[in-house]
């Protein structure tokens, strides 16, 4: 279980997180929604230990990752898979080498096993035979799928997705959502996903959390969020322009 | 809890103090960066193929420019030194004059400056782009130390390739001087090389060696550091690249002077 308590973070004079609380149940798919620039990526970066908060803590199975460093933090990270907003593929390596990288470097598997697992994992995301291409040579959607394959190939316990589908066509959005759902059924990881895909994410999420003004203003099962009386949430999921607030 | 504003007269002092602290902090980070890189070299796993790749990147691919600049530097030296020595009737010493300037001074410095321009800038840009596209973060969250993968192999490769590049620069330069002095200006070949053997001793060679060795660390250290701590976006990468080349070049010259005063 991931438990975020009163997380506070500022950049200079800009307060991005203002005492954020959230619980993510083990094995669930929790989707974080919220305005662009609202701090969703900043929140994820705290969960994976890339940013230190000004206050509050993040408990992952009881350990506070905001206070861990060095070996202890790496121990936690070995159980993570992360899909960055831009994919963050190593552009000096082929797609297959990208997926193979964590297997080779972290799990130290023998070359033959790495090869079979990479192939299987690329096939899972519908990219069989594309492994020999470089990230710069494949489309944006393929890059995202390679990034997902790389994050999942080590069979992590917790996977963080930062907008895995933004900028993709509607068919690919659904393809990726189903992919995540299928892999989730198979691998049983805990997923924390940032997404703008409304309403599609309501079909795959176990819980949806709305980030607004540096806090989680509402969290619950998709049905509850969709029927929320909270004005901020309602406005956001209907995509009403800001001016409509006074009504 | 707001701080009371300082009286007007104290504000310049305050600014100076803050500036000084910032400089010391930056120097500390810079030093820690090298310490961490060296630390990863002392603990397994050693990234052998990354190291080989960096030797290719920093050394092998700089070979052409080293050959060209080395050759022409030697030729210019041959020409200028010859016309100076002729005035004293001592053109027989052209060989040692060219060799000593190259081995003690110009070889290490010019080779380092050339490699900085060719490979150092590319190193900063490459690492900077990896930073802004979150590739370095990706390594970090895989529980892999990016310094081990990106920085340490480069610094080690600098340590190996700079002395080699300098040796090549010196050799080609001495033959450049030979071309001008012997083939063009008519000095005898025996004089050119014979006097060189008499006057150049191991101390001179060691001076060039220590210089090139330290430049190898200096350049790769500065260039990887600047890439690692790049600002935002393409502009940040551009600035880091410029900074890396300028800072490396200045430090090469300053350090060269310093080594010149302490080494025999
Ligand atoms: N390293 C940083 N330094 C300074 N400010 C930052 C930094 N990272 C993020 N911010 C600021 O924090 C705010 C939140 O950024 P964040 O990337 O978390 O937004 P987001 O919710 O992920 O948006 P999007 O949906 O567009 O990805 C932004 O205003 C951004 O300018
Ligand atoms: Mg974001």
Query: Percent of chain B at pLDDT above 90?
Result: 81
In this predicted structure, the answer to whether residue B2 has a pLDDT above a threshold of 60 is no
The Å distance, Cα A163 to ligand 2 centre, comes to 7
Give the chain A residue nearest B131 (alpha carbons). A88
A161 touches chain B (CB under 8 A): no
User: Cα–Cα distance between A22 and A207 in angstroms, integer?
Assistant: 11
Whether residue A16 has its Cβ less than 6 Å from ligand 1: yes
Range of the domain at B190: 59-262
**Whether A32 contacts A193, CB under 8 Å:** yes
Residue A237 CA to ligand 1 center (angstroms) comes to 21
**Sign of the alpha-carbon dihedral angle for A68, A70, A71, A73:** positive
Phi, psi of B12 (to 5 degrees): -60, -40
Alpha helix (H) residue ranges in chain A: 40-47, 70-77, 95-102, 111-124, 140-152, 170-187, 201-204, 222-226, 231-238
Ligand 2 centroid to Cα of residue B146, in Å, is 23
* For ligand 1, atom 19: residue with the closest CA: A37
Q: Are B97 and B79 in contact (CB under 8 A)?
A: no
Given a cut of 90, whether residue B57 has pLDDT beyond it is yes
ipTM of the complex, rounded to two decimals: 0.90
Q: What is the DSSP string of A129-153?
A: T-TTS-GGGS-HHHHHHHHHHHHHT
Q: A135: domain CATH number?
A: 3.40.50.300
Residue B77 pLDDT > 80, yes or no?
Answer: yes
In a domain, A100, yes or no: yes
Query: CB-based contact (8 Å) between B262 and chain A?
Result: no
Contact assessment for residue A125 and residue A179, using Cβ atoms and an 8 Å cutoff: yes
Q: How many CB pairs under 8 A join A and B?
A: 42
Specify if A190 maps to a domain: yes
Number of CB atoms found within 10 A of residue B175's CB: 17
Report the residue among A14, A16, A198 best suited for mutation to probe ligand 1: largest number of ligand atoms under 8 A from its CB. Answer: A16
Burial letters B58-69, b for 16+ CB under 10 A, else e? bbeebeebbeeb
> Considering chain B, what is the average pLDDT of its residues?
92
pLDDT at residue B1 tops 70: no
What per-residue confidence (pLDDT) applies to B91?
87
For residue A38 and ligand 1, the question of a CB distance below 6 A is answered with yes
pLDDT grade for B3, boundaries at 50, 70 and 90: low
Question: Which chain B residues contact residue A55 at CB under 8 A?
Answer: none
Residue of A64, A42, A37, A69 lying closest to A160 (CA atoms): A42
Q: Left if phi > 0, otherwise alpha if psi is -120 to 50, otherwise beta: which for A68? A: beta
Task: Report the domain count for chain A.
Answer: 1
Judged by a CB distance cut-off of 8 A, whether residue B235 touches chain A is no
Check residue A109 and give its pLDDT. 85
Q: What is the pLDDT of residues B206-235, one digit of tens each?
A: 999 999 999 999 999 999 999 999 999 999
Query: A50 vs B135: CB contact, 8 Å cut-off?
Result: no
Ranges in chain A, pLDDT < 50? 246-247
**Closest residue in A to B46 (Cα–Cα):** A105
Number of other residues whose CB lies within 10 A of the CB of residue A147: 28
Residue B51 counted as domain residue: no
Q: What is the pLDDT of residue A243?
A: 56
Contact partners, residue B199, CB within 8 Å, separation at least 6:
B93, B95, B96, B99, B100
pLDDT of residue B109: 97
What pLDDT sits at residue A240? 80
Q: Taking CA B20 as the corner, what is the angle to CA B14 and CA B26, rounded to the nearest 5 degrees?
A: 135
Residue A198, pLDDT score: 85
A129 lies in which domain range? Answer: 24-51+63-210+218-232
How many separate domains does chain B show? 1
Q: Write the residue with the smallest CA distance to atom 6 of ligand 1.
A: A11
- pLDDT over 70 at B141, yes or no: yes
């Amino acid at each position: 279980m991931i438990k975020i308590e009163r997380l506070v973070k500022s950049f200079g004079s800009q307060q991005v997180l203002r005492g954020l609380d959230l619980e993510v149940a083990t094995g669930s798919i929790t989707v974080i929604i919220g305005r662009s620039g609202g701090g969703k990526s900043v929140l994820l970066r705290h969960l994976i230990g890339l940013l230190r908060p000004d206050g509050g803590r993040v408990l992952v199975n009881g350990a506070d990752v905001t206070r861990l460093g060095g070996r202890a933090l790496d121990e936690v990270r070995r159980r993570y898979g992360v899909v960055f907003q831009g994919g963050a593929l190593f552009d000096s390596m082929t797609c297959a080498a990208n997926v193979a990288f964590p297997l080779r470097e972290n799990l130290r598997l023998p070359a033959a096993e790495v090869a079979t697992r990479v192939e299987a994992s690329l096939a899972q995301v519908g990219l069989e035979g594309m492994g020999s291409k470089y990230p710069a040579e494949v489309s944006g959607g393929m890059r995202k799928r390679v990034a997902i394959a790389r994050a999942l190939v080590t069979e992590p316990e917790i996977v963080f997705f930062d907008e895995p589908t933004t900028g993709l066509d509607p068919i690919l959005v659904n393809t990726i959502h189903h992919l995540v759902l299928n892999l989730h059924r198979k691998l049983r990881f805990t997923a924390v996903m940032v997404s703008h895909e409304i309403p599609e994410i309501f079909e795959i999420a176990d819980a949806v959390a709305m980030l607004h003004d540096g806090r989680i203003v509402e969290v619950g099962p998709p049905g509850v969020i969709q029927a929320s009386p909270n004005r901020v949430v309602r406005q956001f999921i209907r995509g009403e322009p800001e001016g409509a607030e006074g009504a | 809890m707001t701080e009371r504003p300082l009286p007007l007269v104290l504000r310049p002092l305050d600014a100076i103090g803050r500036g000084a602290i910032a400089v010391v902090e930056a120097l500390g980070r810079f030093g820690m960066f090298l310490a961490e890189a060296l630390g990863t070299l002392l603990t397994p796993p050693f990234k052998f193929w990354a190291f080989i790749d960096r030797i290719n990147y920093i050394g092998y691919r700089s070979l052409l420019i080293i050959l060209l600049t080395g050759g022409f530097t030697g030729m210019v030296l041959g020409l200028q030194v010859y016309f100076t020595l002729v005035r004293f009737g001592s053109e027989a010493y052209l060989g040692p004059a060219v060799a000593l300037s190259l081995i003690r001074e110009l070889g290490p410095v010019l080779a380092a400056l050339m490699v900085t321009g060719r490979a150092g800038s590319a190193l900063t840009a490459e690492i900077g782009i990896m930073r802004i596209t979150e590739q370095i973060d990706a390594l970090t969250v895989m529980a892999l130390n990016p310094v081990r993968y990106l920085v340490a192999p480069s610094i080690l490769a600098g340590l190996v390739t700079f002395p080699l590049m300098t040796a090549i620069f010196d050799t080609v330069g001495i033959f450049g001087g030979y071309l001008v002095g012997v083939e063009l200006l008519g000095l005898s070949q025996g004089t050119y090389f014979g006097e060189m053997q008499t006057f150049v001793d191991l101390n001179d060679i060691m001076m060039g060696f220590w210089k090139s060795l330290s430049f190898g660390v200096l350049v790769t250290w500065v260039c990887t550091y600047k890439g690692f701590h790049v600002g935002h976006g393409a502009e940040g990468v551009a600035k880091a690249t410029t900074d890396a080349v300028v800072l490396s070049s200045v430090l090469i010259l300053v350090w060269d002077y310093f080594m010149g005063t302490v080494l025999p």
